[in-house]
Amino acid sequence: MSRKKNTSSDIGLLEVVKYGHPALRSKGRRIDRIDDSIVTLAEEMLQTMYEEEGVGLAAQQIGRSIQLAVIDVMVAVKDRPSRAWLDGREIELDSLMPLVMINPEIHPVGTDREIGTEGCLSIPGLLDEVDRPARVRIVCQELSGETLDFEAEGLLARAAQHEYDHLHGILFIDHLPAESLREHQPLLRKLQAKSSDF
Ligand code: ZN
């Protein structure tokens, strides 16, 4: 983790590591105590995500192996809707955003699946279609330590699954068929070569 620059506030922007960096393949440690350093890190991750125009960012992407990810489906992407339910009642999305997920668990709800386009701040230049469960139940801790238990569909469900994967060392390209992956090899090799310069 390194600081690129400081903004006018004292929240720093973090460097997003790219494909080939070993942190992206590491499984995150559970967070037992949500102290000030975790709160600051979550704020810095959100600022970094907004700056890079991402929908989500996991700790692995800033070189940390802990169970912490941030999501905001309201800012960078306007044309891909999401829905969310709390205790069986649909809720306004902005009441959940930005979402900080600590130690998240994700369970598919029902058997419907959906194919949608994904990209990743750690794999710039690569977009592809990924098949995932359409609706999921997400159970995580918030920064306050409270447990949040809700269901999601649409972009939020997709982003949560993408970030959950990161926290377990899995990348969205791992879900692609071998043929697509072969097509992406030149770009992946280029990113990997750059990452090994460090
Ligand atoms: Zn990603």
Which listed residue (44, 118, 151, 163) is catalytic?
A: 163
Instruction: Name the band, by pLDDT with cuts 50, 70 and 90, for residue 5.
Output: very low
DSSP label of 109: -
| Domains present along the chain, CATH in parentheses | 22-194 (3.90.45.10)
- CA–CA separation, 146 and 165 (whole Å): 22
- CA–CA separation, 47 and 53 (whole Å): 10
Q: How far away, in angstroms, is 58 Cα from ligand 1 center?
A: 7
- For residue 86, the one-letter residue type is L
Range 139-147 average pLDDT? 97
Instruction: Name the band, by pLDDT with cuts 50, 70 and 90, for residue 122.
Output: very high
Token code pair at residue 125: 């230049």
- CA–CA separation, 79 and 123 (whole Å): 22
If we measure between CA atoms, which residue out of 174, 175, 36, 46 comes closest to residue 101? 46
Look at residue 80 in the predicted model and tell me its pLDDT.
Answer: 86
- DSSP, collapsed to helix, strand or coil, labels residue 70 as strand
CB contact set of 182 (below 8 Å; sequence gap of 6+): none
Q: How far away, in angstroms, is 146 Cα from ligand 1 center?
A: 25
CB contact set of 92 (below 8 Å; sequence gap of 6+): none
90 classed as catalytic: no
Percent of the chain with pLDDT over 90: 88
